[in-house]
Amino acid sequence: MIHFTKMQGAGNDYIYVDNRNGVVKDPTQLSPKISDRHFGVGSDGLVLISLSDKADVRMRMFNPDGSEAEMCGNASRCVARFAWERFFKKAKDEFDLETGAGIKHIVIHRDGENFKSATVDMGAPILEPAKIPVAAETNKITLDGCEFTCVSMGNPHAVTFVDSVKTAPVHTKGPDYEIDSFFPRKSNIEFCELVDSTHAKMRVWERGTGETLACGTGACATLVACVLNGKTSRAIDLELLGGTLHIEWREEDSHVMMTGPAEFVFEGTFEE
Ligand SMILES: N[C@@H](CCC[C@H](N)C(=O)O)C(=O)O
């Protein structure tokens, strides 16, 4: 029996397991089963939390197709809240999180004893085509006549601008774009609608998952694409289907800072 905690950040919901005792042996097999919304608990994937010899806490994130993602922005805030309350007992408000995309520094914002939000230093975006990776000369590509700006936030993203997120071809084109031959490790696909210089909307088709209500790394990649294309300022509120994230791309060190919510939903046990 696996004890789990369901959490969500801007509606991007994952099943979190405290795996300090190694209870989950085969996450690639467990994630599809537990994430199934009809035959399992139901989620956008599985996140394992454990101790780290390099940082204060470690997370590994698995998509519902069983693939492991290098990084997950919304999960990093949820893991931060989980560790802040359950491991550190609110004794420290800043700590380091080991992820598949390196160590991320996190700051918890509180109102007395209550959690308000978390800011994650997501590091600098990767724009070199070979490192994103995208099989092209530059990080700008064209698919079906639409221009995409490719950005890695540890995991690969391709962002395009649309007139309206309501009519964006998330389900009709997302699955094909995700596995396009431009993307040797597949890609997350973001559709961004501009509102003004500090406000945009985005819908995402996630690699290994499908459409989700929010994607933290996708939100960061979207802001980077907005700035690179001269569409917004370096700090925006990005409205996603499940909530709003505040994203800033700092000029001084090129790091992207993501601030947003992290909420507990329920606890349970799952028989493998
Ligand atoms: N929702 C996430 C990203 C999860 C991983 C993604 N599907 C991938 O395979 O890269 C986020 O909040 O960043």
User: Strand, coil or helix: what is 13?
Assistant: strand
Please check whether residues 143 and 183 belong to one and the same domain.
yes
Is the per-residue pLDDT at 264 higher than 90? Answer: yes
pLDDT at 146: 97
Is residue 145 within 8 Å of residue 107, measured between CB atoms? no
User: Is residue 73 in contact with ligand 1, taking CB distance under 6 Å?
Assistant: yes
Please check whether residues 177 and 264 belong to one and the same domain.
no
Q: Residue 212 annotated as binding?
A: no
Please check whether residues 134 and 217 belong to one and the same domain.
yes
Q: How large is the ipTM?
A: 0.99
User: Is residue 72 in contact with ligand 1, taking CB distance under 6 Å?
Assistant: yes
Which domain covers residue 154, as residue numbers? 129-254
Please check whether residues 177 and 61 belong to one and the same domain.
no
Please check whether residues 70 and 92 belong to one and the same domain.
yes
Domain count within the chain: 2
Please check whether residues 265 and 250 belong to one and the same domain.
no
User: Strand, coil or helix: what is 176?
Assistant: helix
Is the per-residue pLDDT at 272 higher than 90? Answer: no
Please check whether residues 109 and 145 belong to one and the same domain.
no
Ligand 1: centre distance to CA 67 (Å): 11
Protein residue closest via CA to atom 3 of ligand 1: 72
Is residue 57 within 8 Å of residue 83, measured between CB atoms? yes
* pLDDT tens string 191-223: 999 999 999 999 999 999 999 999 999 999 999
Ligand 1: centre distance to CA 217 (Å): 6
Q: Residue 139 annotated as binding?
A: no
Ligand 1: centre distance to CA 72 (Å): 5
Please check whether residues 153 and 87 belong to one and the same domain.
no
Euclidean distance between CA atoms 163 and 26, whole angstroms = 43
pLDDT at 214: 98
User: Is residue 209 in contact with ligand 1, taking CB distance under 6 Å?
Assistant: yes
Please check whether residues 245 and 136 belong to one and the same domain.
yes
Euclidean distance between CA atoms 77 and 24, whole angstroms = 22
Please check whether residues 264 and 208 belong to one and the same domain.
no
CATH of residue 93's domain is 3.10.310.10
Catalytic residues: 72, 215
Which position has the token pair 């069983």? 66
pLDDT at 172: 98
Is the per-residue pLDDT at 29 higher than 90? Answer: yes
- Which of 47, 155, 220 is the pocket-test mutation for ligand 1 (most atoms within 8 Å of CB)? 155
Contacts of 96 (CB under 8 A, 6+ apart): 54, 55, 56, 57, 103, 104, 105, 106
Euclidean distance between CA atoms 145 and 142, whole angstroms = 6
User: Is residue 74 in contact with ligand 1, taking CB distance under 6 Å?
Assistant: yes
- Categorize the per-residue pLDDT at 42 as very low, low, confident or very high, splitting at 50, 70 and 90: very high
Please check whether residues 112 and 33 belong to one and the same domain.
yes
- Which of 44, 120, 187, 206 is the pocket-test mutation for ligand 1 (most atoms within 8 Å of CB)? 206
Question: Hey, what are 18's tokens?
Answer: 């405290």
Q: What letter represents residue 140's amino acid?
A: K
Determine the average pLDDT of the residues in 152-165: 98
* pLDDT tens string 89-141: 999 999 999 999 999 999 999 999 999 999 999 999 999 999 999 999 999 99
Please check whether residues 97 and 152 belong to one and the same domain.
no
Q: Residue 114 annotated as binding?
A: no
pLDDT at 61: 98
Ligand 1: centre distance to CA 112 (Å): 31
